[in-house]
Structure 1
Amino acid sequence: MPVNRREFLKKSVSLGAYSMALASGLVKSGPASAEWIAEQFAQGKLEETLKTLFKDAKITESDKIEIQIPQIAENGAVVPITVTSHLDGVDTISILVEKNPVPLAARFDLSPELEPFVSARLKMAETSDVIVIAQAGDNLYSARQTVKVTIGGCGG
């Protein structure tokens, strides 16, 4: 795609102005907000992890949580997952893999005003259930789906 002289000059001036603003401190990036809570991501069984995360709270199955994940994963090291919730006021979405050495794969703290939609890539040790738990206020809702992990990419 050919670029004419006028477009080149406009882009050059824009890039130069942004670079000067960045160098002078007028434009700053905000700090990333991530927190690692070791006891939540500890090795153990699924039941122990659920007890650590949610104490003895009742978890209700819900059809308002949609999990998009392949039913057969040819590579357990990279399993894409997308979670969408149609529940109101979701604060937290937790993704757990039942048979992993560390069951809690990811935990997302959300603003209740946001649309509950998260996407990640999981590492799965073997064929297992993937469980998503959404917390809306004091209520916990879950959905699960089984993912078959094949060895060597054979879908059998």
Structure 2
Amino acid sequence: MREKAGIAIISRRTFVVSAIAAAGLTPLLVYAQNSGSMTLERSQKFQDEFAKLLGGATPVKDKITVDLPELAENGNFVPITISVDSPMTDADHVTAIHILATANPVALIATFHLSPINGVARVQSRIRLAKTEDVVTLAKLSSGAMLIATTPVKVTIGGCGI
């Protein structure tokens, strides 16, 4: 904060945080702490879509790398890169990568269909997040197995109209 002729000049970030606090919207920025881990709401829409995509399979937390910022100042465009460790051969490859958000109005953000011709199981995009929430990534393998990765993202300005 600088002062110029008796007028305080503050950064846009300081202004936005102050405005959010003044409006009483700080609960949107607060995580519930449960023994050191974050607990975020999971909407019914997310739970239904998640169950539909799994189709009764039990996902394994393995071989997925998700590059996603921990803090997104604007939920309108959050960059994401997903890589799955797979040989991408005819016998063993990733057939689909699904991206879900636990609190968006529409839970399924994107589905990418892959085949051995891709050579590498890697996708990159920008996603929209409504508020602070988890981004869940599912990878379906040619064997029918499902892989999962969950990444929490703090959003200061929502992007889905919330």
- Shorter-normalised TM range: 0.5 to 0.7
- Name the CA distance, whole Å, in 2 between partners of 1:85 and 1:107: 14
Q: Deviations over 1:27-55 (max 9, x none)?
A: xxxxxxxxxxxxxxxx9521100222232
Match of 2:47 in 1: 47
- Per-residue CA shift, 1:12-70, capped at 9, x if unaligned? xxxxxxxxxxxxxxxxxxxxxxxxxxxxxxx95211002222321111111x1111111
3-state SS of the aligned residue for 2:116? Answer: coil
* Aligned equivalents of 1:47, 1:151: Cα separation in 2: 24
Aligned-pair distance for 1:151? 3.1
In 2, Cα distance between equivalents of 1:83 and 1:99: 20
Instruction: Give the alignment's TM-score, normalised by structure 1.
Output: 0.65
Q: Specify the alignment match of 1:100 in structure 2.
A: 104
Matches within 5 A, 1:61-72: 61-62=61-62, 64-72=63-71
In structure 2, the residue matched to 1:23 is none
Give me the CA root mean square deviation: 1.7
Mapping for residues 7-26 of structure 1, pairs under 5 Å: none
Query: TM-score under structure 2 normalisation?
Result: 0.63
Q: 1:142 aligns with which of 131, 138, 148?
A: 148
Q: Which runs of 5+ in 2 are unaligned?
A: 1-42, 88-92
What is the aligned length? 109
Contact 1:98–1:130 (Cα < 8 Å) also in 2: yes
1-side partners of 2:140 and 2:112: how far apart? 10
- Report the residue type matching 1:118 in the other structure: V
Larger Cα-atom Rg: 1
The aligned residue for residue 31 of structure 1 is: none
List per-residue Cα deviations over 1:70-104 (Å, max 9, x = no partner): 10000000001000111341110001111111111
Match of 1:15 in 2: none
Aligned equivalents of 2:59, 2:111: Cα separation in 1: 16
Q: 1:124-146, CA deviations, whole angstroms, 9 ceiling, x for partnerless residues?
A: 00101111111112100011110
Structure 1 gap ranges (5+): 1-42
